Amino acid sequence: MSRSLWASVRRVGAMIERYVYLLKGSWPRIIELAYWPTMQIILWGFLSEYLVHHSSYLARASGVLLAAVLLWDVMFRGQLGVSVVFFEELYSRNLGHLFASPLRAYELASALFVISLLRTLIGSGMAALFAFWFYHFSIWRMGFVLVAFFMNLLVMGWAIGLVVAGLVLRYGLGAENLAWAAVFALAPVSGIYYPISVLPHWLQIVAQILPAAYVFSAMRALFFHHIIVARPLWEAGGLNVVYLALGLSLFLRTFHNARLHGRLLNLGE
């Protein structure tokens, strides 16, 4: 490994260490990570049990709703893991120290990805364990393709998280509510609980540019037809590469603009 690459890895590691300290220093934060996904699972679990006995559609694929809830949560947690963790630097007025150090903006983004993965594994993992214990539903019954679903949704969450972080860097903490709103704005067109064919034609076009719509389509194919369709997952992966690159570009661009307008010293609560 070259010296500069090693130095870069070391800086990313230091930032991960910073976020791990933050997480382990506050047990309410760890509980909060698992609380919302678990509540979702409880709610949708009971609804699912009821519908399985009253709907021929769901009776064919019990667990599809729970799988959808869990996977949707991956994207939501992935997004929050980038944007909300980035907000911590603004809350603590720490950006000046960070960017006067040798830390590059893309290294910060890399650390945010790693911590987002960790937070998502904790939050969604606890919810998945709960679903198994309470409803005897195992997310792992999807098999190895679960990794492809998980990674596609996580990366889409990262891309959205970078856009939100960039907008907050540009417009200040007044824009932080975007972190909660951004993913939900995409929920109706992502085909989480229904095929996108039920959408009006123009919304189907929107859905076709969202990686999540491909993932949930593949998930339904797995549950209802017991087949793994690889093509939508590759398409989702391709779109994710584009969106992640766009998200990173926007983040780096707003970082450059923040240096131009002196916001790195002024942003904060």
Using CB under 8 A, list all residues that contact another protein: 7, 10-11, 13-15, 17-18, 21-22, 25-26, 88-89, 92-94, 96-104, 259-262, 264-265, 268
CB nearer to another protein: give 25 or 200: 25
Beta carbon of residue 194, minimum distance to another protein (angstroms, whole number): 42
Beta carbon of residue 216, minimum distance to another protein (angstroms, whole number): 37
CB nearer to another protein: give 172 or 268: 268
Helix-strand-coil split of the chain, %, nearest 5: 85, 0, 15
- 103 sits in the region (left: phi over 0; alpha: psi -120 to 50; else beta) called beta
Distance of alpha carbon 229 from alpha carbon 224, whole angstroms: 12
Distance of alpha carbon 214 from alpha carbon 193, whole angstroms: 13
Residue type for position 40: Q
* DSSP one-letter code for 59: H
CB nearer to another protein: give 100 or 246: 100
User: Other CB atoms closer than 10 Å to residue 59's CB: what's the count?
Assistant: 11
CB nearer to another protein: give 15 or 41: 15
Beta carbon of residue 109, minimum distance to another protein (angstroms, whole number): 15
Give long-range contacts, CB 8 A cutoff, 24+ apart: 98-102. Answer: 99/255, 99/259, 99/264, 101/11, 102/7, 102/11
Distance of alpha carbon 24 from alpha carbon 199, whole angstroms: 43
Beta carbon of residue 101, minimum distance to another protein (angstroms, whole number): 4
CB nearer to another protein: give 14 or 185: 14
Residue pointed to by tokens 């760890």: 30
- Main-chain dihedrals φ then ψ at residue 228, nearest 5 degrees: -100, 115
Beta carbon of residue 268, minimum distance to another protein (angstroms, whole number): 8
User: Other CB atoms closer than 10 Å to residue 168's CB: what's the count?
Assistant: 22
Beta carbon of residue 4, minimum distance to another protein (angstroms, whole number): 9
CB nearer to another protein: give 3 or 53: 3
Beta carbon of residue 170, minimum distance to another protein (angstroms, whole number): 16
Which of 218, 257, 249 has the alpha carbon at shortest distance from 106?
249
CB nearer to another protein: give 132 or 171: 171
